[in-house]
Chain A
Amino acid sequence: MLRDITLGQYYPGESWIHRLDPRVKIIAALVYVAALFIVDNLIGFAIALAALAAVIIISKVPLSFILKGLKLIFLIIIFTVIMNLFMIKGGDVLVEIGPLSIEEKGLYTAFFMAARLILLIIGSSMLTLTTKPISLTDGIEALLSPFSKIGVPAHELAMMMTIALRFIPTLLEETDKIMKAQQARGADFESGNLISRAKSLIPILIPLFIGAFRIAHDLAMAMEARCYRGGQHRSRMNAMKLSGRDAAASVMLAVFLAAVIVIRIVL
């Protein structure tokens, strides 16, 4: 069962969006999120929605797959919407239920808030859905590397993420092993109240941590043996190259951003 886990929420595919350079996709996601905060009217939201819809269609990621991963977040959004509806006052009173009332301003705020949050969450998850975690790491490293001169440890951060991704399954397997070993000796993880259940996790966590340190020690030695010496002198097998595809995507992104800004100013 542990062997089947997927890391992150990558949806494997070969679409135009999947094949974009991770750097372009990261920037696009950032620009999209920023644009959502520029937008303040219905036309702007319509454009943002259309852009997102286009990306989803091109990426061929099924909508149900996208929404499945966001169930919990939608609960939070619904809660926010309800709070906004009833709490924000101003304008005409639209509905009155006993002591509660929904007023015009509340409705607007709730609607924009919900639209913004939904677009923001789906928009940013399109990045992780269409980019392998490992390419994402490479992209972040490349984008941060200009800042390494002012002390941003770009390579180190990327290496840490790579190793974390690599060892998540290993540590899960280890946890599974430890739990089974403890259960074989009569440990009970399922019954009792919250506190006693939390307590029963301690015998799992301690060996897990010791194991993690042992792995870290071994891995550090193996990396040194393979001439690892940090980011300097290092070359890459898959040097990232921008293609025509990436240029096209960048142009579309610029057009989108310009449209959003123009609409904000004009309307």
Chain B
Amino acid sequence: MNDMIRIDDLVFKYTRDDTGEEVNAIKGVSFAIEKGSFTAIIGRNGSGKSTLAKNINALLLPTSGFVYVNGYNTSIQENLWDVRQSAAMVFQNPDNQIVSSIVEDDVAFGPENLGVESAEIRRRVDESLKAVNMYHNRKKAPHMLSGGQKQRIAIAGAIAMKPDCIVFDEPTAMLDPKGRSEVMAIINSLNEEGITVILITHFMEEAAEADRVIIMDDGVVRLDGTPEEVFSHADELREMNLDIPMPVELARRLRARGIDIPADIINIEEMVEYLCQYR
């Protein structure tokens, strides 16, 4: 079995607390995510993308259908800890996911919960903090750090659990541009080291860095493919109120004027490179 995550006809309904109406957040989604891949899931607010992420971590359980993480069915109670250890999660708000008032103690929280032995926890904590380049801040209090730094600690906390996969639920939404690029750099390097990455986002530029982009809208998958394929459906994306990355839009307009730009150019550096050499 080479799939990290397999989702079979997932349906998720919940009842809103305030109005009591039933909301059908996910209306039948199926896809599989390969081990070691980098998948971005995009959609506007209310598209069901965050609900989907929480289903992968067994924080929410399917109303019908199945989610398998590393072969473990999330609906089976006994699998709960294996599921959460295999697929760690990093949330949007950097403040609200840090438990301890000392950085290194917070990173140790996950492995401590798993009952890992002390010396091994120490080793994992040091390693994880080095991986996110926060080792020098290990003794600091989280509230003294910037948003991007806090989010890196949250990522270290996830890595310390030695997961096969990390689900990032809009990790950059509350960060400034500097924090955002730091976090994206770490996500990329984790993926290079073999961790399966699922990035929930609404920034198209971030999605462009993935191997695969899944566009969710109104509880269903609307588009699924490589970033190049997905971004070529410009009209559909606009109809869903999603921005097209600037270089893709530029390429589209240049093509409309008869300048031939290859379809695989989707980021700014490649575009600059191509245009500078264009004759």
The reply to whether A237 and B91 contact each other, CB–CB distance below 8 Å, is no
Q: Which residues of A contact B99 (CB under 8 A)?
A: 162-163, 166, 219, 222-223
Using CB atoms, name the residue of chain B closest to A218: B96
The reply to whether B81 and A227 contact each other, CB–CB distance below 8 Å, is yes
Using CB atoms, name the residue of chain A closest to B157: A226
Contact segment of B137-145, B233-241, B244-252: B137-145
Q: Decide if B115 is an interface residue (CB 8 Å cutoff).
A: yes
Q: Which residues of B contact A173 (CB under 8 A)?
A: 143
Min CB gap A169→B, angstroms: 4
The reply to whether A221 and B115 contact each other, CB–CB distance below 8 Å, is no
A3 to B144, CA, bound (A): 6
**Complex interface residues of chain A between 177 and 226 (CB less than 8 A to chain B):** 214-215, 218-219, 221-226
A165 to B111, CA, bound (A): 21
The reply to whether B93 and A218 contact each other, CB–CB distance below 8 Å, is yes
Min CB gap B33→A, angstroms: 18
Min CB gap A219→B, angstroms: 5
Contact segment of B18-26, B118-126, B257-265: B118-126
**CB contact between A227 and one of B84, B91, B96, B97 (< 8 Å): that residue:** B84
Answer whether A134 and B101 are a contact pair too, CB < 8 Å, given A3-B143, A169-B141. yes
The reply to whether B97 and A219 contact each other, CB–CB distance below 8 Å, is yes
Interface residues as binary, B94-127 with A (CB distance below 8 Å gives 1, 0 otherwise): 0111111110110011111111111001100100
The reply to whether A236 and B118 contact each other, CB–CB distance below 8 Å, is yes
A222 to B97, CA, bound (A): 5
A88 to B141, CA, bound (A): 51
Min CB gap B55→A, angstroms: 12
A224 to B91, CA, bound (A): 12
A215 to B93, CA, bound (A): 9
- List 24 A-B pairs, Cβ < 8 Å: A165-B101, A169-B143, A215-B95, A215-B96, A218-B93, A219-B99, A221-B54, A222-B97, A222-B99, A222-B154, A223-B109, A224-B59, A224-B84, A225-B57, A226-B113, A226-B157, A227-B81, A227-B161, A233-B113, A234-B112, A236-B121, A237-B104, A237-B112, A237-B121
The reply to whether B122 and A237 contact each other, CB–CB distance below 8 Å, is yes
**Complex interface residues of chain A between 140 and 179 (CB less than 8 A to chain B):** 162-163, 165-166, 169-170, 173
Q: Decide if A238 is an interface residue (CB 8 Å cutoff).
A: yes
Q: Decide if B40 is an interface residue (CB 8 Å cutoff).
A: no
The reply to whether B88 and A226 contact each other, CB–CB distance below 8 Å, is yes
The reply to whether B97 and A218 contact each other, CB–CB distance below 8 Å, is yes
Q: Decide if A79 is an interface residue (CB 8 Å cutoff).
A: no
Q: Decide if B172 is an interface residue (CB 8 Å cutoff).
A: no
The reply to whether A234 and B115 contact each other, CB–CB distance below 8 Å, is yes
Using CB atoms, name the residue of chain A closest to B142: A166
Q: Which residues of B contact A170 (CB under 8 A)?
A: 95, 143
Using CB atoms, name the residue of chain B closest to A4: B144
Using CB atoms, name the residue of chain B closest to A164: B101
Q: Which residues of B contact A233 (CB under 8 A)?
A: 113-115
Q: Decide if B85 is an interface residue (CB 8 Å cutoff).
A: yes
Q: Which residues of A contact B108 (CB under 8 A)?
A: 236-237
Min CB gap A190→B, angstroms: 27
Q: Which residues of A contact B91 (CB under 8 A)?
A: 218, 221-222, 225
A109 to B222, CA, bound (A): 83
Answer whether A134 and B100 are a contact pair too, CB < 8 Å, given A226-B109, A237-B122. yes
The reply to whether B88 and A225 contact each other, CB–CB distance below 8 Å, is yes
Min CB gap B20→A, angstroms: 19
The reply to whether A229 and B142 contact each other, CB–CB distance below 8 Å, is no
A174 to B9, CA, bound (A): 41
